[in-house]
Amino acid sequence: MAKEFTNAKMVVDKDFKVSDIDPRIYGSFIEHLGRAVYGGIFEPEHPEADEHGFRQDVLELVKELQVPIVRYPGGNMVSAYNWEDGVGPKEDRPKRLELAWRTIENNQVGTNEFADWAKKAGTDVMMAVNLGTRGIDAARNLLEYTNHPGGTYYSDLRRKHGYEQPHNIKTWCLGNEMDGPWQIGGKTAEEYGRLAYETAKAMKLVDPSIELVSCGSSSSDMPTFPQWEATTLDHTYEFADYVSLHQYYTNYENDTPNFLARSMEMDHFIKTVISTCDYIKAKKRSKKTINLSFDEWNVWFHSTADDEKMEPWQVAPPQLEDVYTFEDAVLVGSLLHTLLKHSDRVKMACMAQLVNVIAPIMTDNGGKVWKQTIFYPYYYTSVYGRGIALDPVVDSPKYDSKDFTDVPYLDTSVVYNEEKEELVVFATNRHMENTLKVDCDIRSFEGFRVIEHVVLENDDPKAVNTANQTNVAPHNKGESHTEGSILHGILPKMSWNMIRLRK
């Protein structure tokens, strides 16, 4: 059967800039949940474990992704967590009922161990404080423990625990999803706003160099969204540097064209939060702009039914272990486009999570580590999407789906890396049947030629990877090429692509 073609056009120009991309837009997340920590990053009995118990095979894949920042220790778990349980001699650390996920937390990994792991992984830590069961006092003490050089109770306690130098953690989340009725110690917007303001004030007195993330809505589906942002930011605006966004995308209806359009939902969410931040800025006559930390995002729905059957009070049972499909990877590629298109305001983002729990990296206890389908768009965008995000002018045919109208078949983001003299076009073809031929005018990039066209494609939208079989992986046999000042992009049906050009 001959290939069917659909045509699209775009213009990319050096002067059409969105913003410099903050590398932290490619962050991730490790929560004390399921096998993310125990059996994920930390498994002392594993043949690949180093002297601290960290799995080196897992570390290698994290380094491959070039993850710049990792949020820790939660998540819902942080809202009943006592940080003191996770420091000091391991034999003295208590086992606790972990209420968010109804497991037993043995506290063998805590603040210091995670800081050690982050160093090995070449990443920074985004630390969350407990504003559920605790508040100002615990937060300022933890900050003193991690960041103060010495000569005080908590900084000297850190030194006594074997860490002479402070960890200097610079990014802090003021609680997690405090609007959620599932959250231990959940709050109304007024209650949270007051507590977060007072906590932020105390923390910035301890260390004025830190950046703080005010807790936004748990998802754009929350009945209190976006009033929650308006009310809480009215309180926290003076001390907060970012507001958080969380959203997970599902395909329970098994409707692929509708699912692939869900990045439009993310786009709308981001725009609404920006408008709300800027309304509070205007209301306060402020010169300060609050930016966005999209610190939980991913596809999550495959494992939900299994998790409901889990026996409570186990140590590190398998939880939220979504096995990702090819179509999930295509959407993840589009979600990354969306973050880049908003990189003027989205400065940090965290794919949730990193290992085993709704994650690009999976492990077997005592066994292998492998890459899920979603690993690939995350890897290529993180590694090659550094520099300046450009704003392409796109002219694409569109389709309608169950929840979305005017969905462009071509979804794209473009990055110019001046240092490397490299232009990178990331592109998704949402068309289920047709190859997309894209004529892209790159006239301001004279003499640039295609050096690589990576394609992620598969005839089966439901294809998955396992420990023993990689069914979904990219190839670099893409057919895009330049002719004069035109890049002819050839995007196979239902595919995610990266086209790199150099002078």
Tens digit of each residue's pLDDT (9 = 90 or more) over 41-53: 999 999 999 999 9
C-alpha 500/C-alpha 279 separation (Å) is 39
For the CA atoms of 347, 407, 400, 260, the dihedral, rounded to the nearest 10 degrees, stands at -60
What's the CATH number for 5-14+390-502? 2.60.40.1180
Average pLDDT over residues 255-281: 98
What angle (nearest 5°) sits at the alpha carbon of residue 82, between those of residues 79 and 88? 150
Give me the residue spans of the domains in the chain: 5-14+390-502, 22-385
**R_g (Cα) of the chain, nearest Å:** 23
Cis peptide before 226 (omega within 30 of 0): yes
Q: Confidence class of residue 3 from pLDDT cuts 50, 70 and 90?
A: confident
- Using the predicted structure, report yes or no on whether residue 2 has a pLDDT greater than 80: no
pLDDT at 1: 56
Which residues does 287 contact at the CB level (< 8 Å), separation at least 6? none
Tens digit of each residue's pLDDT (9 = 90 or more) over 319-352: 999 999 999 999 999 999 999 999 999 999 999 9
For residue 448, how far is the Cα from the chain centroid? Answer: 32
For residue 427, how far is the Cα from the chain centroid? Answer: 19
- Using the predicted structure, report yes or no on whether residue 500 has a pLDDT greater than 90: yes
Contact 307, 320 (CB under 8 A): yes
Token pair belonging to 461: 């939208």
Residue 51: Cβ within 10 Å count: 6
Residue with token string 């929350």: 222
Average pLDDT over residues 241-269: 98
Q: Which of 113, 177, 265, 457 is catalytic?
A: 177
Q: Which of 144, 229, 296, 422 is catalytic?
A: 296
Tens digit of each residue's pLDDT (9 = 90 or more) over 121-130: 999 999 999 9
491-500 core/surface letters (b: 16 or more CB in 10 A; e: else): bbbbbbbbbb
The topology (CATH level 3) of 22-385 is TIM Barrel (3.20.20)
Between the CA of residue 386 and those of 63, 410, 422, 447, 473, what are the distances in Å?
A: 16, 22, 10, 21, 22
C-alpha 332/C-alpha 310 separation (Å) is 28
Quick one: which of 452, 432, 444 has its CA closest to 393? 444
Does the annotation mark 144 as catalytic?
no
pLDDT at 219: 97
Average pLDDT over residues 60-72: 98
Contact 10, 442 (CB under 8 A): no
Tens digit of each residue's pLDDT (9 = 90 or more) over 399-446: 999 999 999 999 999 999 999 999 999 999 999 999 999 999 999 999
Does the annotation mark 418 as catalytic?
no
What HEC string does 184-244 produce? CCCCCHHHHHHHHHHHHHHHHHHCCCCEEEECCCCCCCCCCCCHHHHHHHHHHCCCCCEEE
Q: Mean pLDDT for the chain?
A: 98
What HEC string does 314-368 produce? CCCCCCCCCCCEHHHHHHHHHHHHHHHHCCCCEEEEEEECCECCCCCEEECCCCC
